[in-house]
């Protein structure tokens, strides 16, 4: 049977991309990553994609006239590869209407907080400053709102220390399992 075809969009390190690629490789996911899209040429995720033999496309948004212009290029690449789901994994850009319309309910994101708390780019730091003790990660469908969209899954931990690096690593470990679980739900249409 045809495997589910995934595209991963990332801007940085790509540990979530790697968790997904590894699960595809070892059979925990009946899927394949057919394209890695990166808006930061030189990002570490591109090296990871090379190691896993994933086709990658790195681009510089400023080279395009508008978000619509580069998203039109991306949408064509996704269509050509028969992508079923787009997984945002540390993609530090707003997704615009070109992709949202073409891939409605087929774009998901992972965020390092228990949404709807602590949206935005500094979620872990913000949560620590607020004094919360239960941290976690959330996967959700992407819509036009920032870190909004219907929640698919969450994972949580209790952490009472104050070492941000340690906490970040703990949350990343949750994310890596959570994303695989979420993609399995998408594959089995259980969401």
Work out whether 14 is an interface residue with ligand GRF (CB under 6 A).
Answer: yes
Backbone angles phi, psi at 35, to 5 degrees: -160, 135
Nearer of residues 19 and 186 to ligand GRF, judged by Cβ: 19
Work out whether 149 is an interface residue with ligand GRF (CB under 6 A).
Answer: no
Pick from 112, 136, 149, 155 the residue near ligand GRF by CB under 6 A. Answer: 112
Nearer of residues 78 and 108 to ligand GRF, judged by Cβ: 108
Annotation marks residue 111 as catalytic: yes
Work out whether 12 is an interface residue with ligand GRF (CB under 6 A).
Answer: yes
Work out whether 111 is an interface residue with ligand GRF (CB under 6 A).
Answer: yes
Q: Is residue 4 within 8 Å of 187, Cβ to Cβ?
A: yes
The residue of the chain with the least Cβ separation from ligand GRF equals: 90
List Cβ<8 Å contacts ≥24 apart for 21-30: 21/48, 21/49, 21/52, 21/54, 22/52, 23/180, 23/183, 25/52, 28/180, 28/184, 29/4, 29/180, 29/183, 29/184, 29/187, 30/3, 30/4, 30/187
Pick from 23, 107, 110, 178 the residue near ligand GRF by CB under 6 A. Answer: 110
Work out whether 48 is an interface residue with ligand GRF (CB under 6 A).
Answer: no
Q: Could you tell me the smallest distance in angstroms from the CB atom of residue 76 to ligand GRF?
A: 25
Burial 144-159 (b: 16+ CB within 10 A, else e): eeebebeebbbbeeeb
Instruction: Kindly list the residues in this chain that would bind ligand GRF in the complex (CB under 6 A).
Output: 10, 12-16, 89-90, 110-112, 137, 175
Q: Which residues carry out catalysis?
A: 111
């Amino acid at each position: 049977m045809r495997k589910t075809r995934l595209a991963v969009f990332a801007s940085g390190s790509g540990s979530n991309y790697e968790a997904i690629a590894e699960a595809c490789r070892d059979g925990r996911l009946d899927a394949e990553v057919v394209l890695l899209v990166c808006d930061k040429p030189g990002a570490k995720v591109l090296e990871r994609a090379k190691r896993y033999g994933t086709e990658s496309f790195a681009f510089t948004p400023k080279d395009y006239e508008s978000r619509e212009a580069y998203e039109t290029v991306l949408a064509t690449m996704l269509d050509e590869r028969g992508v079923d789901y787009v997984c945002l994994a540390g993609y530090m850009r707003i997704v615009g209407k070109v992709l949202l319309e073409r891939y409605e309910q087929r774009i998901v994101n992972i965020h390092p907080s228990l949404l709807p708390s602590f949206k935005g780019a500094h979620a872990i730091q913000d949560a620590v400053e607020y004094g919360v003790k239960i941290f976690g990660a959330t996967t959700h469908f992407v819509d036009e709102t920032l870190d909004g969209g219907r929640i698919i899954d969450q994972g949580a931990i209790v952490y009472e220390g104050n070492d941000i690096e340690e906490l970040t690593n703990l949350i990343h470990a949750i994310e890596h399992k959570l994303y695989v679980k979420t993609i399995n739900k998408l594959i089995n249409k259980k969401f």
